[in-house]
Amino acid sequence: MKTKTLYHILLLSLCFVMASCFLFESKPEAVDGNLSISLRFTVLSENDSTIVLPVADLPVKIYTNDYNIPPMFDITDDSGFVYFEHLPYAHYNVEAFTLIRPNEYEEIEVVGAKSLNLTVDSLGTDMTYTDTLLMKQSKSGLKINEIYVSGPPNNIFYFYDQFYELYNGMSETVYLDGMIVLRLSKTALFADTLSVTYIYQFPGQALTGREYPVEPGSFVVLAMNAFDHNLIGSLAGKTVDLSHADWEFYNNIEAAAYDNPNVPNITSNNGRVSQSSRVDFMMNMSSDVLALCNGSDYDQTDGINVNTVVDCVEYSSNPNHIKEVPYCLDASWAGIGISKYAGESLERIRPGFDTNNSGIDFVIITTPTPGYHHE
């Protein structure tokens, strides 16, 4: 039973600050900018979800890739406010994490994160951007942790080095037996079944099988093709070595499909799941939807039951994208601004961190990280 007490913000955040001191930079006075950002961080009270409480002593990081300025850090005051000034207009990411202790037995990790596109057009003559961020709790489980689909730097239109990474954020082992991996097509936003473009399945018996364990805190790499893509002449040093991937997608009716004998296959047209296309598990480079389902429904002819979804991530480089899958699976989408053929990847801000809102949960990283998490 939970003790009903008010939230106490862990002083652990202070330890985090001290541990991170070497990262701290003073605010860039020399940058030619007159933009200010004023943010307030809050959480919902555990006892009464109509009550919003400020989060004090919270380390907050903001950074931009538009200018060559280091990340900036500050700590919220007693009212949850933090203030950055002398900034240029730019696209900024805001990230803040802490542990909250609702009682002496529990610790909850919460995040407040947001992507801010602060242009003269969006702000007008108002030089201060003001916002309140409600920090959210992560839902633990087996997660789609990284999606690398946008291609390495190259001018031969190469994007066959795609991979997806799973992460087990549970404190117990989970099993991949019989799970299915889907590339989804546009589905009604309140539908209870999902439309499928591709369907691939792990071996083993869904729900009850125990042959393919994933230990707590471990990553699983699912490669489109499990070889070292650096071996392709002009790509040397620009792409990923997937020869040691944990799994590889293989369509039994794809002509001359690559098959690394040392890497087990996630298969399509295997006598259990079937799709008409004779192609590999390729996702669109800039906009698509990836889903991992428990495999209890694998007949895609009438759609896949939305209740069997373990995790689902929608992504699009376009800020004006029209959503493709139900809000209950993903409230927004990841990847706004991701470039093709630049070696960029999409990864959760923390391993397995998931609020079912990919616009918050994911960041664009400059180099893919198969089997590990970005710094």
| Residue numbers at the binding site for Ca ion (CB under 5 A) | 146, 165, 225, 248-249, 259-260, 263, 265, 280, 311, 354, 356, 369
Q: Min. distance of Cβ 223 from Ca ion in angstroms?
A: 7
Q: How far apart are CA 245 and CA 371, in angstroms?
A: 8
Contact 48, 103 (CB under 8 A): no
Can you tell me the distance from the alpha carbon of 305 to that of 33, in angstroms, rounded to the nearest whole number?
Answer: 51
Q: Can you read off the two tokens belonging to residue 360?
A: 């918050």
Smallest separation (angstroms) from Ca ion to the CB of 311: 4
Q: Which SS3 state, helix, strand or coil, does residue 220 take?
A: strand
Q: Which is nearer to Ca ion, 311 or 324 (CB)?
A: 311
Distance CA 155, CA 234 (A): 9
Residue 31 CA to residue 17 CA, distance in Å, equals 25
DSSP bridge pairs for 290: 183, 313
* Strand 219-223 with 247-251, pairing: parallel
As a whole number of Å, the end-to-end CA separation of the chain is 37
By beta-carbon proximity to Ca ion, the closer residue of 42 and 369 is 369
Q: Which is nearer to Ca ion, 332 or 369 (CB)?
A: 369
Beta bridge partners of 82: 39
Q: Which residue's CB is nearer to Ca ion, number 139 or number 186?
A: 139
State the minimum distance, in angstroms, from the CB of residue 134 to Ca ion. Answer: 18
Q: How far is the CB of 12 from Ca ion (least distance, A)?
A: 25
Instruction: Please tell me what DSSP assigns to residue 336.
Output: T
Please give the residue whose beta carbon sits closest to Ca ion in the complex.
369
Nearer to Ca ion, 89 or 362 (CB): 362
Compute the least distance from the CB of residue 347 to Ca ion, in Å. Answer: 5
Q: Number of helices (H) and strands (E), helices first, in the chain?
A: 3, 25
Specify the residue, 129 or 212, whose C-beta has the smaller distance to Ca ion: 212
**At closest approach, how far in Å is the CB of 257 from Ca ion?**
6
Would you say 46 or 311 has its CB closer to Ca ion? 311
Q: What backbone phi and psi angles, to 5 degrees, belong to 19?
A: -65, -25
**Phi, then psi, of 309 in degrees rounded to 5:** -75, 130
